[in-house]
Amino acid sequence: MNFQQLRIVRETVRQDFNLTTVANTLFTSQPGVSKHIKDLEDELGIEIFVRRGKRLLGLTEPGKELLTVVERILLDAQNARSISDHFSNRESGRLIIATTHTQARYVLPENIKEFRAEYPDVHLVLHQASPREIAELLTAGEADIGIATEWPDEAPEFVAFPYYSWRHALVVPKNHPLTKRSRVSLADIADYPLITYHEGFTGRTNIDNTFTEARIVPDIVLSAIDADVIKTYVEIGLGIGIIASMAYDPKRDSTLALIEIPDLFRLNTTRLALRRGVYLRSYVYAFIHKLVPELSEEKVSDLLRGPARGDFVI
């Protein structure tokens, strides 16, 4: 048994049992992948995958049990490397943050600027992705920190902390009729073509639920994954927009007006998530503390190393 065999088992599941994709991902050949799997099965005396001819269809029952062990072994190997890096050079390395466009563009810049000033030898990698992709990056060990508003309903492999709360707001062209109203209702919004976030991004579920509960069907003419696109189409007159309030900049968005609507939509909470069982370098804890000052290294470390609680939010 060797690490390459274990990586192949894990990657085969991640790539939906497509060995050609597995080979490309791991920079090897498909025959080599098949041989590694067969050698491991022979050594363990079990069949790991369900087969139909030469195709792999899924995991056998022993294979499902083995995958849990494989994930743990590879995570521990990653932790061993992190421990070595930590003690050989405490203030240099790489910090990978997976987050959505809204957080990367409007929330994190100042924190990242300050962090870079304090840790100039740490190379920062910023992955902009969907919440689902962020969860996958954390699970795969390809990101240290995930930051998003939408997360899986149940993910015991993660521990998450509230980062900050925010509300949606309305963005309209300057001198739009809605800017003359002292109070804007859902019905008022529904009178106009609407531009907002794509499903699964930046509180879109809260927006949809609010309209549904009010039995109002909005005319959503365009949806996008980031506020910059939404504001662009509001500017050209396609409709009015619902965005995260922090995504409006009075100087840059001088042709638009922001209308606060705090009573219309539920409060949203963006969370910072980590994978349980992962060894984090000291500068990762420092970055977390910068984002959420109440989170000490001791508190975060205890939760990461503790057993899964069956819930996602701490």
Give the residue among 207, 224, 205 at the shortest CA–CA distance from 216. Answer: 207
Kindly state the DSSP code that residue 61 receives in the 8-state scheme: H
Using one digit for the tens of pLDDT, what is the confidence trace for 254-308? Answer: 999 999 999 999 999 999 999 887 778 889 999 999 999 999 888 888 888 765 5
Q: What percent of the chain has pLDDT over 70?
A: 92
Q: Count CB-CB contacts under 10 A for residue 97.
A: 24
Q: What residue ranges do the domains of the chain occupy?
A: 3-74, 90-163+270-305, 168-266
Q: Is the alpha carbon torsion for 145, 150, 155, 160 positive or negative? A: positive
Q: What angle do CA 281, 99, 152 make, to 5 degrees?
A: 100
Q: Distance between CA 94 and CA 92 in Å, rounded?
A: 7
With a cut of 80, say whether residue 77 has pLDDT above it. no
What is the arithmetic mean of pLDDT over 139-162?
84
Identical topology for domains 90-163+270-305 and 168-266: yes
Average pLDDT, the chain: 88
Confidence grade of residue 310 (pLDDT, cut at 50, 70, 90)? very low
Its CATH architecture, for the domain 168-266, is 3-Layer(aba) Sandwich (3.40)
The pTM is what?
Answer: 0.72
With a cut of 60, say whether residue 199 has pLDDT above it. yes
Q: Distance between CA 179 and CA 289 in Å, rounded?
A: 40
* Top CATH class, 3-74: mainly alpha
Q: Which residue has the tokens 């992190």?
A: 82
Q: Distance between CA 217 and CA 208 in Å, rounded?
A: 9
Using one digit for the tens of pLDDT, what is the confidence trace for 214-265? Answer: 999 999 999 999 999 999 999 999 999 999 999 999 999 999 999 999 999 9
Distance of CA 62 to the CA centre of its chain: 31
* C-alpha to C-alpha distances, 73 to 77, 79, 84, 270, nearest whole angstrom: 6, 10, 17, 31
Asked if 156 and 309 count as a contact pair (C-beta separation under 8 A), the reply is yes
Q: Distance between CA 98 and CA 126 in Å, rounded?
A: 6
Confidence grade of residue 82 (pLDDT, cut at 50, 70, 90)? low
Its CATH architecture, for the domain 90-163+270-305, is 3-Layer(aba) Sandwich (3.40)
Distance of CA 170 to the CA centre of its chain: 25
Pairing of strands 55-59, 93-99: unpaired
Using one digit for the tens of pLDDT, what is the confidence trace for 10-22? Answer: 888 888 888 888 8
